[in-house]
Structure 1
C-alpha cells in the first residue's frame, strides 16, 4: 500500500531541457493513433522504482513523467498501472492498481526517498505473484545500482521469462557492472534495456510511452520504421 505517513513534495511539470528527436516524436504520435487489438481487457503495467536516497532527483523526474505513459493509450482502451518501490531498511511497498495519471501522481508525490540497499529480488517476486493473479503485460524497472547477488536475481528474472512477463529495465548512470546485469534481466524476460540521462527527460518520457503502448497492445502496435532511443529499445523485443 502507499505510505500512511508520506512526506509530501510538489513536483513541477515536465522539464523542458533536452529536446526529443523527430524520430521519437513521430513514433509516439503514431502509437497514440493506433487501435489496440484486444480492447476488451485493459493492459497491466507494473512500474517499479528504486527509491533509495541516491535516487531523489530521478524520483522527482519520474513523478513529472509518469503521466506520459497514459498518453500513449488509445482513447477506447485503458492501462492499469501499479506502483512498486523500495527504500530504507527492508521497506518495499506496492500501491493499488490505478487507471489514470492523476491517481498515480497522487501516489508518487506522497513518497520520499530514504537510504538503504537495493531490493530488486522483492520486485521480481512481487511481479511473479501479481502475474499469477492476472497477467502483467510489462514491468518497468528504473534504478542505478545492484547490491544483491546477481545470479540469484537472474534466476528470478528467468522465472518471469518463462511466464512471458517481460521487464523493461531503465538504468540511470553508467556503471558497467550494473548495465551488464540489467541487460541480462531484460534478456532473460524477453524484455529490453535502455540507459537514460536525467538531463534529457523528453526521451525518458518517450520510452515510458513506448512501454505503455506495448503493455496495452503488444508488439503489433510497435512495428515502426526509423531510429532513435524508442526504436532501439523496441528492436530488442523478440519477434
Structure 2
C-alpha cells in the first residue's frame, strides 16, 4: 500500500489469514514450529533490529479542526525525536463524517506524513474510536505495532465495547496513549480506562496548547522507537515523557 494513499476501513472487513500461520489438519513438525517462531520473532516490534511502528490516530470531526491543524505542524517532532533512538514508521488513522474511517500505509518520513495530513479536512460526525482500536489490533497481529497514539476530545460509543477491544491490545502488549483536548468527563472516563487496560497512559492538553501536545507526541514517539528505556531517558528532561511513564504499568 502506498504511504500517500488512504484506504477506508469499514465495519465488516475481515482480516486476511496471517502469513506464516501453521497449517491445520496435521501434527506440526519441529521444522514447522521453528519456522513459526522465526516468523513471529521477525514480526515482533520489540525485536532488537525491528523498526518502531506507531499508529497515529486522530479524531477529524468538525470540533477537531484547530487541533488537526496543530497536529499537522507538530507531527514532524515525532520523527525528529526518534533520530537518535532508532527508526520509526507511522500509520495514520483518522475518522470523520458519516461512518468514514481511513488508514494510510506505513510512512517513514515526516514530509510524506505532513503532505498526507494537509490534504485532509475535518467534517462533522460521531466518534469511531472502536474502529481505531480494531485497526490497531489487526495491524499488531499482522506485522507488529509498538504503540498507538490517539488525539481526540469526545467519546460517543459504548464504553464496554471499547474496553473489550482495549483489553485485546493489552494482551498483545500494545499500549495506547490517549491525549484528550478539553474537559469532557465522559471522554475522560473512557480514555483513562482504555489506557489502563492497554498499559498505556492518558493525558489532557488545553485547546490550542501546542507546547503540551508537542511534548506528549515526542514522548510517545520515543517509546515507539526505543521502548521503555528510551522513554525513561527522555523523562529525565521532558515533562511529557514523565507523565506517560508515571502511568504505564
Normalised-by-shorter TM-score class: 0.7 to 0.9
Matched, 1:2 2:11: no
Q: Runs of 4 or more off by more than 6 Å in structure 1?
A: none
**Residues 85, 222 of structure 2: 8 Å contact kept:** no
* TM, length-normalised to structure 2: 0.78
Rounded to whole Å, the distance in 2 between the matches of 1:76 and 1:59 is 27
**Residues 62, 122 of structure 2: 8 Å contact kept:** yes
Q: Which residue of 1 aligns with 2:95?
A: 86
Aligned match for 1:212, one of 221, 225, 231: 221
Q: How does 1:21-170 map to 2 (within 5 A)?
A: 40-75=49-84, 77-170=86-179
Larger Rg: 2
Q: Which residue of 2 aligns with 1:178?
A: 187
Instruction: Tell which has more relative contact order, 1 or 2 (C-alpha 8 A, sep 6+).
Output: 1
How many residue pairs get aligned? The number is: 206
Structure with more of its chain in helix, by fraction: 2
Name structure 2 gaps, 5 residues minimum: 9-45
Rounded to whole Å, the distance in 1 between the matches of 2:225 and 2:58 is 20
Rounded to whole Å, the distance in 2 between the matches of 1:68 and 1:227 is 14
**Residues 3, 110 of structure 1: 8 Å contact kept:** no
Q: Which residue of 1 aligns with 2:203?
A: 194
* TM, length-normalised to structure 1: 0.81
What does the per-residue CA deviation read over 1:61-95, in whole Å, with 9 as the maximum and x for residues that have no partner? 11011101011113473100000000111110001
Rounded to whole Å, the distance in 2 between the matches of 1:225 and 1:75 is 16
